[in-house]
């Protein structure tokens, strides 16, 4: 299923008391839609989901759906290491009116491949919404095998994967052995063009918070066969993409948005703000 080419893994704006700032969230949503975002992933890792309560997540889903008002797809991050809790949150997200669900591989508990399969299958059974799997071994410490993804792709409402292993060989194999309408998205901004070149659909992006239009131009050039120009754009944007991960995500991208005049506040512990040196390096790359 194609949710669009560039989906933004949206940050969660906080006020000075570290509560969700809904006015800032409204402004951010409208800013992203106006600047190259074709879909929103709400309450993913970039949205600081581990620090959001269930109540906050549901409130955020409802609010985002209301503000977006059908302009682009809204995908709710409802995955965790707790299958029953993920089932409950998935049902609440569906009630909130979201367009899809993203389920991260269960972190910390390190389940087997069979455990992964049963986890995702069980959650898929409680919703009619399309589901995007999320493989990010760097954070979850488990890597979904190609065989597990292929098996899961046979479940009717599991329609997509955000693949953040960085392994193009694995991605090519997934694309090759899953149904034609099963989509694969890069979980890494810097691999957007390589993933498109092997048949991927697009990217779930952090950098699109600040260079969404530029990334759209890069993809457009690639799609129309202007490969040299797309490659040039890729090389030009890469330092910005890298700078946004110079400290644990989403601290740099929140700082970048604040610098660019799109206020989103700070981060919740255990994340900490950028130090002066990091902030200065980010300003230099962003030229602000």
Cβ atoms of 24 and 13 closer than 8 Å: yes
| 254 given a catalytic annotation | no
> Which DSSP letter does residue 115 get?
H
Rounded distance between C-alpha atoms, residue 144 and residue 262, angstroms: 36
CA atoms within 13 A on the CB side of 110: 2
Question: What does the block give as tokens for 133?
Answer: 């799997």
Which residue of the set 117, 162, 185, 254 is catalytic? 162
| C-alpha closest to that of 131 among 155, 161, 109, 101 | 101
> Which DSSP letter does residue 282 get?
H
| 232 given a catalytic annotation | no
Which residue of the set 57, 107, 117, 134 is catalytic? 134
Cβ atoms of 192 and 215 closer than 8 Å: yes
Cβ atoms of 100 and 3 closer than 8 Å: yes
Q: Label residue 120 left, alpha or beta by phi (over 0 means left) and psi (-120 to 50 means alpha).
A: alpha
Cβ atoms of 102 and 75 closer than 8 Å: yes
- Residues serving a catalytic function are 134, 162
């Amino acid at each position: 299923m194609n949710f669009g080419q560039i989906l933004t893994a949206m940050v969660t704006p906080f006020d000075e008391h570290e509560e969700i700032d809904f006015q800032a969230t409204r402004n951010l949503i409208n800013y992203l839609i106006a600047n190259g975002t074709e879909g929103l992933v709400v309450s993913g890792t970039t949205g600081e989901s581990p620090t959001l309560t269930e109540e906050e997540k549901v409130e955020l889903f409802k609010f985002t759906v209301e503000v977006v008002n059908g302009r682009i797809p809204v995908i709710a991050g409802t995955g965790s290491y707790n299958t029953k809790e993920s089932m409950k949150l998935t049902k609440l997200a569906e009630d909130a009116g979201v367009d899809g669900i993203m389920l991260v591989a269960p972190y910390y508990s390190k389940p087997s491949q069979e455990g992964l399969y049963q986890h995702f299958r069980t959650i898929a059974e409680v919703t009619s919404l399309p589901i995007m799997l999320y493989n990010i071994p760097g954070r979850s410490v488990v890597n979904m095998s190609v065989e597990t993804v292929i098996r899961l792709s046979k479940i009717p409402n599991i329609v997509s994967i955000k693949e953040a292993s960085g392994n193009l060989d694995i991605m090519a194999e997934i694309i090759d052995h899953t149904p034609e309408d099963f989509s694969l998205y890069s979980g890494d901004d810097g691999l957007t063009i390589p993933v498109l070149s092997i048949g991927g659909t697009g990217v779930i992006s952090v950098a699109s918070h600040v260079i969404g239009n530029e990334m759209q131009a890069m993809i457009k050039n690639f799609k129309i066969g202007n490969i040299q120009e797309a490659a040039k754009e890729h090389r030009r944007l890469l330092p910005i993409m890298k700078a946004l991960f110079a400290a644990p995500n989403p601290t740099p991208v929140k700082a970048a948005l604040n610098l660019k005049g799109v206020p989103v506040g700070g981060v919740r512990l255990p994340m900490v703000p950028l130090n002066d040196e990091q902030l200065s390096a980010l300003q230099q790359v962003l030229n602000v």
